[in-house]
């Protein structure tokens, strides 16, 4: 390993690990292309967000406490998810307040980044050598937008994709209706929100809807599929790593 080479601990997140491994591979590849040494600990599992949002604070504390220990002293932490990054950056403070882990949670928060944020704001990258012959549109995932202030970073990276026409999405900052357990507990409201989002996406005539969170991607992809739409939903990392074809999705 080159002396002084920047090192990153890559936190793939539960849903990427279990359902979308290609997103994790794409994200790790993008980091490595920038000369970053990427480490993926075998015992890095979950940030605890699901239990935290459901109100099971004791379970969230146990899971997140394990995450704190695994990530201790491992340098910058990068996630392909605004929601999980937001959990660590902003909600670990609440979860671990007035506990022996409070200082560790604060220290971890200051070295945790979402993927596009790390590429653009930390590494200073605007062009990763991506190519796409077609039309792209971008949906802002709620946690990344509202907790982390993301949005411009992804658009900066997409603007550097050779051959792509990036078109604005009406209501790009409006929720797709997923919200984790919200989609289950408030199914009718979630469905109505999704229908509004799908109509906006289809109005762009895009080939691919791009987003930075696989939870939103799952919700939107399911809706587009049920409509038998030709538009496909893909993660930003997949597009930037040249893993998406306009014709094949």
Which residues, including other chains, have CB under 8 Å from residue 37's CB and lie 6 or more apart? 1, 5, 6, 7, 8
The answer on pLDDT for 246 being more than 70 is no
What's the token pair of residue 37?
């040494």
Q: What is the pTM of this model?
A: 0.93
**Beta-ladder partners of 234:** 210
**Beta-ladder partners of 167:** 137
Q: Which of 68, 59, 117 is nearest to 92 (CA)?
A: 68
Q: What is the largest CA-CA distance in the chain?
A: 55
Give per-residue pLDDT as tens, 82-119: 999 999 999 999 999 999 999 999 999 999 999 999 99
Q: What is the pLDDT of residue 249?
A: 45
From start to end of 130-170, where are the E strands?
A: 131-139, 162-167
Q: For 128-152, what is the mean pLDDT?
A: 95
Q: What is the pLDDT of residue 240?
A: 98
Give per-residue pLDDT as tens, 110-136: 999 999 999 999 999 999 999 999 999
Sign of the Cα pseudo-torsion (204, 208, 218, 215, in order): negative
Cβ atoms of residues 132 and 167 within 8 Å: no
Q: Residue 107 class from Cβ within 10 Å (0-12 exposed, 13-18 middle, 19+ buried)?
A: middle
For residues 229-245, one letter each, b for 16 or more C-beta atoms within 10 angstroms of the residue's C-beta and e for the rest, the string is: eebbbbbbbbbbbebbe
User: Up-side HSE of residue 85: CA atoms within 13 Å toward CB?
Assistant: 31
Give per-residue pLDDT as tens, 11-69: 999 999 999 999 999 999 999 999 999 999 988 889 999 999 989 999 999 999 999 99
Mean pLDDT of the chain: 93
Of 209 and 249, which is predicted with more confidence?
209
Cβ atoms of residues 8 and 78 within 8 Å: yes
């Amino acid at each position: 390993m080159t002396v002084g080479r920047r090192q990153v601990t890559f936190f793939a997140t539960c849903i990427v690990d279990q359902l979308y491994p290609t997103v994790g591979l794409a994200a790790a590849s993008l980091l490595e292309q920038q000369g970053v040494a990427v480490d993926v600990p075998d015992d890095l599992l979950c940030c605890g967000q699901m239990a935290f949002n459901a109100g099971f604070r004791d379970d969230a504390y146990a899971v997140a406490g394990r995450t704190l220990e695994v990530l201790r002293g491992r340098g910058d932490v990068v996630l392909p998810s605004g929601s999980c990054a937001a959990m660590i950056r902003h909600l670990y403070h609440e979860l671990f307040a007035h506990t022996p882990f409070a200082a560790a949670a604060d220290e971890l928060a200051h070295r945790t980044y979402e993927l596009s944020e790390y590429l653009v704001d930390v590494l200073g990258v605007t062009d990763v050598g991506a190519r796409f012959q077609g039309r792209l549109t971008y949906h802002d995932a709620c946690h990344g937008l509202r907790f982390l202030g993301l949005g411009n970073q992804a658009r900066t990276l997409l603007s550097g994709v050779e051959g792509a026409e990036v078109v604005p999405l009406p209501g790009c900052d409006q929720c797709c209706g997923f919200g984790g357990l919200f989609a289950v507990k408030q199914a009718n409201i979630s469905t109505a929100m999704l229908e509004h989002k799908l109509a906006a996406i289809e109005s762009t005539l895009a080939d691919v809807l791009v987003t930075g969170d696989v939870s939103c991607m799952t919700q939107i992809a399911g809706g587009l599929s049920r409509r038998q739409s030709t538009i496909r939903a893909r993660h930003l990392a997949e597009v930037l790593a040249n893993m998406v074809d306009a014709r094949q999705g």
